Amino acid sequence: MRLPRWFHLLGSPPFVYRLAGKVAPWLGVVTCVLLAVGGYWGLVVAPPDRVQGEVYRVLFIHPQIAYVSVMAYVVMAIAAGIGFVWRIKLAHGVAATAAPIGASFTACALATGALWGRPTWGTYWQWTDPRIMSETLLLFLFLGYLALRAAFEDRDKADRVSAILAVVGVVDVPIIHYSVIWWNSLHQGPSIMKLDKPSISPEMLTPFLIMVAAFTACFCWLLLNGLRGEIVERERDTRWIRELVAGTRG
Amino acid sequence: MTDFLRMGGDGAYVWSAYGVTLAVLVFNVWWARRRHRAALERARASALDERVGRRPTVRQIE
């Protein structure tokens, strides 16, 4: 079976570097617009919650950030797996770029969750909550991946060894997702991702979904931005990078 | 306006959650930009090194 040409191009660092350079600014604009609209809608337009009052407005960002943290891990694991199996260096580059972004989002999800939990559940942190714990494990998987990479001088070796950790760690993803169903958790069960109608009113659902789009765009933007630096670093001694830096003497 | 900032008494929680998030996003953008720039700088330095290295040194001529 012959693969289409664009598929091969996606493995070519100069092509992806240029493509990312073209797409990233647009994603940046989309992110900022969606964050502004969703933020205004969530903080100003949406009515206070009948039970929680105003503090529920944290829920226009916290679940989104948590979802992006999991998505970042899945992207990292798939990219690392592709890099490992087909020995595509660019795929390892994607994984290495996704890791610090994912780690920061995971930490942010835990922080915003704590800030919401204090006034709502009466506690910042609950050691026995399965979702908090599986999300904390995700943070350590990201940090472990980054530490493992840093431990190797040789980049190829770092790529291959860290890829194994990334792929094995994927078991945490379904655990995070199903933790609220399998175990008794302070977190609520699914209220949007379910077969039935979402159990949330439309005037709150709209800004919620806008923020989902905003944070998804944000992750793609950050990933492409980071990937450009990663590609330059990995390709430092190739001819096209030489030509690139010769053209942009600064 | 004050009511908006107070958020029904939970302003400290709501605004710090939004603040932390904004800080994380800004940090990520700044970090990516800094890394990209540093990588280009290193590539430039390494390209320069090679050009300098190609010139024969005194020892090589001897």
Helix/strand/coil (H, E, C) string of A123-168?
A: CCCCCCCHHHHHHHHHHHHHHHHHHHHHCCCCHHHHHHHHHHHHHH
Measured distance CA(B14)–CA(A53) in Å, rounded: 11
- Spell out the domain ranges in chain B: 2-61
Confirm if A119 and B13 have CB atoms less than 8 A apart: yes
Is position A198 within any domain?
yes
Number of domains in chain A: 1
Q: For residue range A212-244, what is the model confidence (pLDDT) as tens digits?
A: 999 999 999 999 999 999 999 999 989 999 999
pLDDT of residue B62: 56
Tell me which residue range forms the domain holding A197: 15-247
Residue A32 has pLDDT above 90, yes or no: yes
Is position A4 within any domain?
no
Is position A227 within any domain?
yes
- Which of B27, B36, B44 has the CB atom closest to A228's CB atom? B36
Is position A172 within any domain?
yes
pLDDT of residue B53: 61
Measured distance CA(A72)–CA(A212) in Å, rounded: 14
For range A48-59, the mean pLDDT:
89
Higher-scoring residue by pLDDT: A129, A195: A129
What is the pLDDT of chain A when averaged over all its residues? 92
To the nearest whole Å, the CA of A4 is away from the closest chain B CA by: 30
pLDDT of residue A250: 46
pLDDT of residue A21: 96
Q: What is the pTM assigned to this prediction?
A: 0.91
Is position A218 within any domain?
yes
Q: For residue range B7-59, what is the model confidence (pLDDT) as tens digits?
A: 888 889 999 999 999 999 999 999 999 999 999 999 999 888 877 666 555 66
Confirm if A73 and A99 have CB atoms less than 8 A apart: no
**A53, β-bridge pairs:** A49
Measured distance CA(B58)–CA(A169) in Å, rounded: 56
To the nearest whole Å, the CA of B61 is away from the closest chain A CA by: 27
Measured distance CA(A168)–CA(A155) in Å, rounded: 20
pLDDT of residue B38: 96
Q: For residue range A98-138, what is the model confidence (pLDDT) as tens digits?
A: 999 999 999 999 999 999 999 988 899 998 899 999 999 99
Residue A83 has pLDDT above 70, yes or no: yes
Vertex A189 angle, CA A188 and A193, to 5°: 125
Higher-scoring residue by pLDDT: B6, A112: A112
pLDDT cut 70: percent of chain A above it = 95
Residue A61 has pLDDT above 80, yes or no: yes
Contacts of B32 in chain A (CB under 8 A): 222, 225-226, 228-229
Is position A2 within any domain?
no
Q: Which two tokens stand for residue A15?
A: 């092509």
Q: What is the ipTM of this complex?
A: 0.90
Of the residues B22, B36, B48, the best mutation for testing chain A's interface (the one with the most A CB atoms within 10 Å of its CB) is B36
Instruction: Report B:6-35 residues touching A (Cβ under 8 A).
Output: 7-11, 13-14, 16-18, 20-21, 24-25, 27-29, 31-33, 35
pLDDT of residue B35: 96
Contacts of B48 in chain A (CB under 8 A): none
Q: For residue range A157-166, what is the model confidence (pLDDT) as tens digits?
A: 999 999 999 9
